[in-house]
Amino acid sequence: GAVVSQHPSRVICKSGTSVKIECRSLDFQATTMFWYRQFPKQSLMLMATSNEGSKATYEQGVEKDKFLINHASLTLSTLTVTSAHPEDSSFYICSARVGGGAPGEQYFGPGTRLTVT
């Protein structure tokens, strides 16, 4: 089956620093990847759609300059949280579509727990 990995799984950083999270599709090529944010005991909120070779599409209310997304290759998308603050602490999950799959069918990474102190 399609496997998506994320690195790191857990990161703690100081307020004001930047953190990069990687999302990789291990055994397939993903032209489109998605970044979600999940607060404790809440559902996933789509932050942005990452498109290989082009700019990401951000959802309303998501700061483009704060959450930088780069989709440099067909197997890698990165999310950089710039000038992180404690309110950015959250669980970040990426997913990828498999080509030919049903719309909405996505494979999810294991998530990254970000804690900003």
Residues 14-43 within binding reach of other proteins (CB under 8 A): 32, 34, 41-43
Q: Does position 91 bind other proteins by CB under 8 A?
A: yes
Q: At CB < 8 A and 24+ separation, what contacts does 64-69 make?
A: 67/35, 69/35
Single out the residue of 56, 67, 88, 111 in contact with other proteins (rule: CB under 8 A). 111
**Residues 5, 109: contact at Cβ < 8 Å?**
yes
Nearer to other proteins, 31 or 82 (CB): 31
The torsion defined by the Cα of 12, 93, 90 and 54, in degrees rounded to 10, comes to 90
- Interface residue list for other proteins (CB under 8 A): 4, 6, 9, 32, 34, 41-44, 46, 49, 57, 91, 93, 95, 97, 102-111, 113
